[in-house]
Amino acid sequence: MTKKDFIALADMIRHHNQFNTHNPFSPAQVKRLADFCKSTNSNFMKDRWLDYIAGNCGKNGGAVKKQHNLV
C-alpha cells in the first residue's frame, strides 16, 4: 500500500466514525488495521496514522488546520 492508500483509509475511518456514532470503529480495531498497514509497508508511520485518525494532527503529521468562521 502507498501513502495515498493509507491516507484514504484513514479518511474513510474518520468519516465513518464521525457520521456513524452508534457503531464507530473501536480503538482496538483501528490499532489492528494499523498493524496490518505496517506489515504491508515498512515505511508506514503507525503513530502518526493513529494520531491523524484521532484528529491530533494533519494528514502529513503537521498541525490540524483550523477552520475560520467568516461571521
| Tens-place pLDDT, residues 29-44 | 999 999 999 999 999 9
Give dist(CA 11, CA 14) in Å, integer: 5
- Quickly tell me which residue has 508511520 as its cell: 45
pTM over 0.85: no
Residue 11 in domain: yes
Long-range contacts made by residues 27-33, C-beta under 8 angstroms, separation at least 24?
33/9
Residue 36 in domain: yes
Residue 68 in domain: no
Residue 59 in domain: no
Residue 9 in domain: yes
Residue spans of alpha helices (H) in 1-71: 3-19, 27-40, 46-54
The residue type at 26:
S
What pLDDT was estimated at residue 56? 92
Range of the domain at 16: 3-20+28-54
Q: Place 18 in a pLDDT band, splitting at 50, 70 and 90.
A: very high
The domain total for the chain is 1
* pLDDT tens figures, 51-71: 999 999 998 887 777 665 555
